[in-house]
Structure 1
Amino acid sequence: MLSTSSGSLQHAYRLLLENKRLLPNPSQLALVDRLSKIQDGFGPDSRTPPTGLYIHGSVGTGKSYIASLFTSTLPSHISRRRAHFHEFMPDVHSRLHQARSSSSRYDSADPLPIIGRQIHAESRVLCFDEFQVTDIADAMILQRLMGSFWAAGGVMVATSNRAPEKLYEDGLNRDLFLPFIAMLKQRCETWPLGGAKDYRLLKSEGQTQKVFFTDPAEFQSTFEAATGGQQLIAHEIPVMMGRKLVVAAMQTDEDSLTVSSTVAQLCEGKLGAADYHALCRKAKVIYLEGLRRFRLFELDFVRRFITLIDLAYESGTKVIISSDVTIDEAFVEIIEAEEQRAKRKQGGLQMSVKKGGGSSSSMMSTFVSGDTEWSATGLEGASLATGGAGETDVGFAIGRAISRLHEMGSPIYGQV
């Protein structure tokens, strides 16, 4: 039974149960109680910030849902930012780019601690959805960035499919990332969320809106019904740093679009998290054609598709897909390879490089130490997703993407 000592988070959770928006779940209830204590830690008599929380568990156990509820019920005087981790890191890289372009402002100082304090000034609480690290450039900046945020009094709540010890597993130069894991565990309590049932699949049982089609004619009929047969026109969506994304779309109201595109256009090119974030902030619905079976050598393609689904889910954007195969069949080759990789894996293997990588990352090259710059992989011509952490996280991400696509068909999708 829910605690009757009313906190705003507990009250909101109780209402969701009473309205049958959620099913009773002891693991979720325990998490709600723990997050309520964090909210209580921001009281007027509190001299130190409360300890944060790092929540990890299987897909569909309610981590993201409860974390969103926590953020939305924080006291009004507490500044907060709720973001998918894929959305947050491009923003950090953009700030780094601006810092480098304004050398007189930063002189020779490391800009990352300054940026960390700026982020704290904007948001005392950071709530990350799907915290994961697959990029060496991101891995190397987190300790200095988040260390500064925490030192300024910031609090982090994060959800992930991985325990802290498994972050950036098999990543290049992972030993340099280990101090961040230690810092994370000091600043955030680790909270494994139990439960094997995927609540998204339970919620979608009996739903009436279909969002995944293997019949092109049925997909087209749904699309024409939604658009009223109107012709879509090219829309420019601002991304960041002066870039724009052009999509075929119809204005559905003053602030949102219905977009039509293909998997090839959005996921096989050079788009990334910043593009998908900008797209999903504007698009209420995305009609996506051309999904097919992913090939083993297309892990970059797979990761872009998953990132699109993640950021759509975070924004409450519905993605309606036309595919040559079922959703499970689309990923079968990748899943089989992941299972084989797990069987072959031997302990103690680590990848590392010294110097000489290119200049790519989740957005751009990033300072690691001194004047040294690193690429996303540290290896010339190597893809981020062809080994190391980029590969080992794919198995987790596929299950999450499938689960979230199921939820997009729910009549209450996008509502907290």
Structure 2
Amino acid sequence: MTSESPGNPLYRQAAAQLAARGLSLDGAQRQALTRLADWLQARLQPSAWRRRAPAGAYLWGGVGRGKSLLLDSLFAAAPLTAKRRVHVHQLLQELQQRLLAHSGQADPLARVASELAGQARLLCFDEFHVHDIGDAILLGRLLQQLLKAGTILLFSSNYAPSQLCPNPLYYSRFRPFAELLERHCLVVEMAAGVDYRPLSERHWGHYLQAPQAGLETLLAERLQLVMPAAPLALGPRQIQPLGQGREALWLSFAELCQRPLASADYLELCRRFARLAVSGLPELARCSADAQQRLVNFVDIAYDAGRELLLHGEQPLESLCAGVNHMDFGRTRSRLAQLRRLTAVDHREYQAC
């Protein structure tokens, strides 16, 4: 594919959108956008004399490097009406629901893939990651069907395809999925560089460092909460909020992350509430791997949904996040760095921050 993408209308439109937001691309970002724009242009307007472009593109690299921004700008520039961007948690939940609707029919996964392909010629999967072998096999079969249907696939991820499933016990079963991505996608690595999230002016919530005493009064007035709150149904499960308002919910960390909640539960919370408070954040390195994974999933989903997060702990956030070795926590740490830091305990002072 050509390297003259500044003349590519998709590149120009995507770069103009980013510039309109006051964002300028560094060298690695320009190079990645160049390759992706050339690829998509070749997919949308194939040429008889040019080699056929791969069916998909897979952009990967370190946290906070602007991969989602590039994907979103290219997605917006694509001259298609039948296009869709989806986060992996949402995709897996939707896939299960669609499969259930086709239960008892022949090859339900092929039917689901046909539905998705009929609704979107371009499918973008942002922050793509999959560590569960069952999910990997299911997604691999789905992607095979989408590729057969001619769907254009665009991914962003923190991991190369071969690194998506780090558990060595499952890697032999996972390898066909990684090879499927490598075979059918243009794989573009975003060169290492600055994590831009902590430098961003986008603040999607607050981290309040304060004693537990007095927190109820602060949050009740800040979020317009009713306390005590009634139990909240999430499908077959119930959780016990500390407070609930028309658009806000307050949960303890223990209730949110130390109970067996699933990504589907976090998706439901983010559908129902625009503002979510989580109090009593402990030293995360001391938490179980399951609790760490739930926090990672919750932050991913809340961030992608544009929900306002108010996180509370009695120590500095950096201290509570120190020493966590969970492989996905780099992305979570980067996103939590965008929370405004508050240390006030007086309500008037807190309101003024």
CA drift at 1:31: 2.1
| Conserved? CA contact 1:310–1:401, under 8 Å | yes
* Unaligned residue ranges in structure 2 (runs of 5+): 342-353
User: Does 1:314 pair with 2:282?
Assistant: no
Amino acid at match of 2:66: G
Match of 2:88 in 1: 85
Amino acid at match of 2:12: Q
Residues 27-47 of structure 1: per-residue CA shift (max 9 Å, x gap) = 112222223234424546679
| Conserved? CA contact 1:52–1:157, under 8 Å | yes
| Conserved? CA contact 1:56–1:193, under 8 Å | yes
Percent of aligned positions that are identical: 26
Does the C-alpha gap of structure 1 residues 230 and 271 become closer, same or farther in structure 2, counting only changes over 3 Å?
closer
Amino acid at match of 1:284: A
How many positions carry a matched residue from both structures? 332
Does the C-alpha gap of structure 1 residues 144 and 208 become closer, same or farther in structure 2, counting only changes over 3 Å?
closer
Match of 2:208 in 1: 213
Q: How does 1:14-413 map to 2 (within 5 A)?
A: 14-17=16-19, 19-20=21-22, 22-41=23-42, 43=44, 51-77=55-81, 79-100=82-103, 103=104, 105-106=105-106, 110-204=107-201, 211-216=206-211, 223-224=219-220, 226-227=222-223, 229=224, 231=226, 248-251=243-246, 257-296=247-286, 298-335=288-325, 394-395=326-327, 397-409=328-340
Point out the more displaced range, 310-319 or 112-121: 112-121
CA–CA distance in structure 2, aligned partners of residues 183 and 208 of structure 1: 37
Q: Give TM-score, length-normalised by structure 2.
A: 0.81
Does the C-alpha gap of structure 1 residues 208 and 122 become closer, same or farther in structure 2, counting only changes over 3 Å?
closer
Amino acid at match of 1:125: L
Q: What secondary structure does 1:291 align onto?
A: coil
Which has the bigger relative contact order, CA under 8 A and spacing at least 6? Answer: 1
CA–CA distance in structure 1, aligned partners of residues 255 and 39 of structure 2: 43
Point out the more displaced range, 125-134 or 3-12: 3-12
Does the C-alpha gap of structure 1 residues 297 and 3 become closer, same or farther in structure 2, counting only changes over 3 Å?
closer
Residues 140-197 of structure 1: per-residue CA shift (max 9 Å, x gap) = 2233221111111112211111111212122433212211211111111111101321
Does the C-alpha gap of structure 1 residues 404 and 211 become closer, same or farther in structure 2, counting only changes over 3 Å?
same
CA drift at 1:250: 2.3
Does the C-alpha gap of structure 1 residues 28 and 282 become closer, same or farther in structure 2, counting only changes over 3 Å?
farther
Q: What secondary structure does 1:138 align onto?
A: helix
Q: Give TM-score, length-normalised by structure 1.
A: 0.70
User: Does 1:5 pair with 2:7?
Assistant: yes
Q: What secondary structure does 1:172 align onto?
A: coil
| Conserved? CA contact 2:250–2:277, under 8 Å | yes
CA–CA distance in structure 2, aligned partners of residues 222 and 309 of structure 1: 23
CA–CA distance in structure 2, aligned partners of residues 67 and 270 of structure 1: 33
Two-structure CA RMSD over aligned residues (Å): 3.2
